[in-house]
Each structure stands twice: as C-alpha cells, then as structure tokens.
Amino acid sequence: MANKKSAEKRNRQATVQRMRNRAIKTRMKNTIRVVEEAISASSIEEAKEALKLAISVIAKTGAKGTIHKKNASRKVSRLTKRVNSMQTAA
C-alpha cells in the first residue's frame, strides 16, 4: 500500500484510468461483435451500418491510447475486408 501522498494520488489516478480504459475497450468489443453477428447472419446492409459505427469507435479507442494505433488500424482493416468479401460473394 502507498505511504506517501503522491503515491496515493497516483494509485487513485491509475484506478480511474484503468476503469475508463476497460469501459472503452468493452464498447469497442461490443461494436465489433455487432459487425460479426451481421456478417454471420449474411445481412449486408446491417453489416455496413455496423461497420461504419465500429470504425469510428475503434479509431477513437486507438486515438485515446487505450489500444495501439496500429492495432486499431489492423482491426478496422480486417473487419472491412470481411464485410467487403461478403458483399462480393453475394
């Protein structure tokens, strides 16, 4: 346990940041899940709309530093590729 005043403050800040990052990551994962469900249901329009939202959420997550920017870019790229391949197959 922290004994100094500054260490106690860092501990409080770390707790708040950890909770914030967890909430942001959970939101990102949920939006990705919606896109994947639309892909598995083979509904192209629904997948496109979900992808649009997911790209925004993933980009914000990367911009805030919760995940690395290249990780966010890779997630967007892979999701987009899956939606586009579904569209060409139909």
State the CATH number of the domain containing residue 52.
1.20.58.110
Rounded Cα–Cα distance for residues 71 and 89 (Å): 27
The DSSP annotation for 17-82 comes to HHHHHHHHHHHHHHHHHHHHHHHHTT-HHHHHHHHHHHHHHHHHHHHTTSS-HHHHHHHHHHHHHH
Q: Number of folded domains in the chain?
A: 1
pLDDT digits (tens, 9 = 90+) for 2-26: 899 999 999 999 999 999 999 999 9
Q: What percent of the chain clears pLDDT 70, i.e. is strictly above it?
A: 100
Q: What pTM does this model have?
A: 0.88
Q: How much is the pLDDT for 73? A: 98
Q: What is the mean pLDDT of the chain?
A: 95
Of the candidates 86, 5, 89, 4, which has an alpha carbon nearest to the alpha carbon of residue 50?
86
pLDDT digits (tens, 9 = 90+) for 18-56: 999 999 999 999 999 999 999 999 999 999 999 999 999
Tokens of 69: 């920017």
Domain containing residue 33: 5-89
